[in-house]
Every structure is written in C-alpha cells, then in structure tokens.
Amino acid sequence: MRRLLTIGIACALLGIAGFTAVSTFSPHSSGAATTTATTTGATGATGATGTTGAQGTVPATPTPEPAATETSTSDWILIAIEGLLVIGFIALGVRSGGIGLGLWGGVGTLILVFVFGLDPGEPPFDAMLIIVAVIAAAAAMEAAGGIDYMVLIASRALRARPKAINFVAPYVSYLLCILTGTSNTFYSIIPVINEVSFANKIRPERPLAGSTVASALGITSSPVAAAMATILPLVEVYDYNLVDVLLITIPASLVGIFLMSLVMSRHGRDLEDDAEYKRRRDAGEIQAPASSENIRLKQYAKRSVAIFLGAVLVICIFGLFEGIRPTVAAAEGPGTEPLAVTPIIQMVMLTAAAMILVFAHVSAADIPGMPIFRSGMVAMIALFGIAWMADTFIASNEDAIVSALGDLAGKWPFMIAVAIFAVAALTTSQSAATRTMVPLGLALGIGAGYMIAMWTAVAGVLFLPANGTQIAAAEADSTGTTTLGKRVIDHSFQLPLQVAWITTALVGILIVAVFH
C-alpha cells in the first residue's frame, strides 16, 4: 500500500512538474534542437539567392530556416524532466519485474504524450513479432521434447568442462549476428542457452548476459548489418573498405568476448548458492534441474531439433547471401531489391513451428502451455511498453542529445568513444550513433582507423535495460539470476557490456596503431 502511494505521489509530482514546465516553456517542439534561434547563418554565403532552381511553383526567396545550434535552458529542463520520468518508469518496471516492465512503460508513454505533449513513438513491431515467431518454434520444439534432447547432447559435450558454455554461447550468438546482420537471430537461442546452463547447474546469468552483449558486438562485425552499410561510405575515402573494417572489428571483438566470458564465468555466486534461486526452488516456483541421465526422450525429439536448427541455418544462409533471397519491388524507381532479413526470420520460424507440428507430432494446443511460450510472451509485452516509452522520448529529443554529445567530443576529441557509447545508449540505436558520431570524429581529425575501432562502442545500446534481447534473456531465466536490476544501471548485462566494449575498443585501437 505504502509502495503504491509512493508511486502515485511520484507520478503526480512528475506530472505536475511536466505540466508546469510545458506551460512555462511553451516553444518546446517535437524536434527539441530546433527551438532556439541565434542565426549564425552562413557568413560567406554568396550563391544561395534562389530557392529551387528547376520548379516554378515554390514560393520565391523564402527566409532561410534559422540556424539552430543550441538548445535553450528551458528545453534542457524539459528534456531532463522527461528523461527522469523515463528512467523512473524503467526503474518501476524492473522492480515490478516481468510483465510489469511493459505496463509501467505504457504509463510512462501516456504521461509523455498527454502531459508533455510529445508525439508518440513507434513500438518495436519487428522485434515483438520476431519474439512471437521464435517463441512459437522454440515452444513447439519444447513440446516435442527437443529442448530435453539439446540439453542431453550439450550436457554430454560439456561433461568434462560444463563451464565451457560461458564461452561457447557468446561466440555462437556473435556468429549468428554476423551471419544475419541483426541481433534478432539471438532470440532463437536464448531458450537453448538457458536450459543447457540450468541443466548443467551453471548460473544462467553468465552465458545469457554474455551472449546478449556478444550479439550486440556482432553488429559491427557483420558485413550485412545496416550499421556497417552506414559506416562504409564515411571511411572509404580514407582507404578503408569492408575487409579493412572487418580486420579491425572482428579480432577486437573476439578478444573482447573472450575476456568478457572469462569475467562472467567467475561472476556471481554459483547457482546452488544463489539466494534468489534457492528461494524460488524452496517455494516450488522452479524445479531443481534433473540429471541428464534421468531425461527420457520423446519419440520425435531429435526430429524437432533438426527442424529448429535447420531453420536457424536457413536464416543464416539467407542473411549472408543476398542473391538467394526473394526479391521485392524496389522502394524507389523500377527494379527489385532483396527481401530484408527480418521478415525472413519471422516466416522461417513460423514455418519451422508448423513443420514441428506435422513431423514431430505435436498438438498445437500444447504449445501455449510450454514454459518457453509463457516467458516469451511476457518478454514481448515488457518490450512493447518499455521500448515504446523510450522511443517516444528519443524521437522528440534525439537532436538535442546528439548535439550535446557532439559538442562534448568537439571540445575533447579523446572522448569520442564515450560519446559514441552515450549516443547509442540514449538513442538505443546503433545506426543513429554511427551516422552522427563517426563523421563528427573524422571531422575532428581523428584517424579513420581509430574511428572504426571506437565504433564498436555502439554496443552501448545495452546500457539501459530497455532492449528486446535483454528483456527476453531476463525473462527466459526462471532461476532469477539474470535480472534487469533495481536501479536501472545495475542489470545483469552491465558488467559484460563494460568489459566487452572497453576491451574491444582498446584492442581495436592497438590493431590500428600497430598495423595501419
């Protein structure tokens, strides 16, 4: 009761503060950076007298849009209040846990829109639908006994060194991301990593958190990722092509992931000693892992695993080789272009689920009852609310955030890696961090090779616990060791993230210093 009262008072105070601030600082617009107007203009402008050139229907010689290089103090106050609200609701969400994360995210979105007058952002439709498709396939496999079979095989393989999963899992997720260019593929192995580690009495947080971070690092190592397509035109004039970029990012990431896995393999108490796990086990919320010798395989378990892994392989092949993808009408002009990977993941995973129904003789009615299905749906709702709230805040304030961090890097160029990390964290977008901060670093005279090395800092998207992969991994872990934290930054992914990106950036810088 007291807790609810506290939450209510906090919401009311924030709402009043927001309403007052909005009323007082009325010029606030959805593009926060465009509000103030110290017209610096173009001092040497000589040639821009007309407006359009070829077409005659446009109004003649309009006044140029004023240069908006600074965000006013009043805007910063508003942005700060909005940011505090977002962080506050993330904190409330992670404290509530599970579906509560999404529900509080929805409340935050409502306040941002109704009280602060922001335009609502876009929920992460792609990620949500991928979770649905992958969870359908994984739950079908679980119903067919496929998860048990994978646990059995993995347990045998890891018998001598069960802790090896702390190293193997991150590299597998990294590889999947490289092959497909998106960390969406990682969703497909989250349940497998969780079950295998739990069955081997390994604290699931170790491989799950490490793998989540490794999948984010895979973006900067993938020849088919959108972020890679963004950076190449920026650095090619400095004589860096795709191979040169990969020769920096891949070795650096491999070392970063290794050190991260090493740290994570020693992180936290062992599962049997973990207080939260013991509480859940004693309360009957979770069963202790069965010995692999006691696993009784269902008749078509192997078949379901073959179908599921085959689907993952198919996605990787389509991701890597654009030429074999179906073509769709080009977005502009005549001709066609390859289908994107995201709908391919969704289609292939739903098809895999259907194939498991048919060939592994699973009843469709059994699938929603599987634990994997439940945790996946919770993750989807959690992601829905929290990512929607974050996007509502970011879409309105991205310019101001990027501008402020750009100014920081302009004053102290050695802070560029931190600025890239911070932009990625605050915008939760690798592409936004790449397209805004990398050219800025190049203009500041930082070597292109070093910029590529520091570009790996876009893994900072995992700094706040508001991403699909983080939420899905935390929800999949029924032992409770993988958490989204209590104070927003103290989540399970923070330590591996910091170790991985620092190591990767440092090794990348050393590679450039020695070989370029």
Partner 1 sequence: MRWFAWVGVILAAVIVVSGLMAAIDNGRDHSGETVRASQWADDVCGTVGAWEGQLKNIREELRRNNWAARRSDGSTGDSAEQIVTVRGATTRAIRATQDTLQEGLKRAGIPDTGQGAAASAILRDWANDTELRLRVAKAVIKEKPTSVAESFASLMPPYAALARSLVAGRAAVAKVEALDSDLADALDRSGNCRRLKKRDA
Residue range at the interface with partner 1 (CB under 8 A); choices 95-103, 164-172, 296-304, 335-343: 335-343
Name the DSSP letter for residue 201: T
Residue range at the interface with partner 1 (CB under 8 A); choices 83-91, 151-159, 179-187, 363-371: 179-187
Burial of 419 (0-12, 13-18, 19+ CB in 10 A): buried
Residue 387 in the binding site for partner 1 (CB under 8 A): yes
Burial of 65 (0-12, 13-18, 19+ CB in 10 A): exposed
Residues paired with residue 329 on neighbouring β-strands, in sequence order:
336
Distance in Å, CB of 477 to partner 1, minimum: 18
Give the residue, chosen from 159, 201, 269, 487, that forms a contact with partner 1 under the rule CB under 8 A.
487
Residue range at the interface with partner 1 (CB under 8 A); choices 89-97, 226-234, 295-303, 368-376: 226-234
C-alpha span between 198 and 288 (Å, rounded): 9
Touching partner 1, residues 186-225 (CB under 8 A): 216, 219, 225
Q: Are 459 and 217 in contact (CB under 8 A)?
A: yes
Residue 334 in the binding site for partner 1 (CB under 8 A): no
Structure tokens at 371: 């634990």
How many of the other CB atoms lie within 10 Å of CB of 101? 30
Q: Are 160 and 106 in contact (CB under 8 A)?
A: no
Residue range at the interface with partner 1 (CB under 8 A); choices 77-85, 93-101, 201-209, 438-446: 438-446
Residue 72 in the binding site for partner 1 (CB under 8 A): no
Give the residue, chosen from 94, 448, 476, 484, that forms a contact with partner 1 under the rule CB under 8 A.
448
Residue 31 in the binding site for partner 1 (CB under 8 A): yes
Touching partner 1, residues 47-66 (CB under 8 A): 47-48, 51-55, 57-59, 61-66
Touching partner 1, residues 352-381 (CB under 8 A): none
| Residue nearer to partner 1 on the CB measure, 92 or 307 | 92
Give the residue, chosen from 118, 147, 379, 416, that forms a contact with partner 1 under the rule CB under 8 A.
416
Residue 46 in the binding site for partner 1 (CB under 8 A): yes
Distance in Å, CB of 429 to partner 1, minimum: 5
Give the residue, chosen from 38, 201, 238, 299, that forms a contact with partner 1 under the rule CB under 8 A.
238
Residue range at the interface with partner 1 (CB under 8 A); choices 99-107, 245-253, 290-298, 503-511: 503-511
Distance in Å, CB of 226 to partner 1, minimum: 4
Q: Are 311 and 136 in contact (CB under 8 A)?
A: no
Q: C-alpha 380: how far from its chain's center?
A: 14
- Tell me which amino acid residue 165 is: I
Distance in Å, CB of 422 to partner 1, minimum: 9
Residue 227 in the binding site for partner 1 (CB under 8 A): yes
C-alpha span between 164 and 199 (Å, rounded): 14
Residue 483 in the binding site for partner 1 (CB under 8 A): no
Residue 351 in the binding site for partner 1 (CB under 8 A): no
C-alpha span between 21 and 84 (Å, rounded): 14
Residues paired with residue 327 on neighbouring β-strands, in sequence order:
338
Cα torsion 476, 482, 487, 493 to 10°: value is -100
Q: Are 432 and 402 in contact (CB under 8 A)?
A: yes
Residues paired with residue 428 on neighbouring β-strands, in sequence order:
none
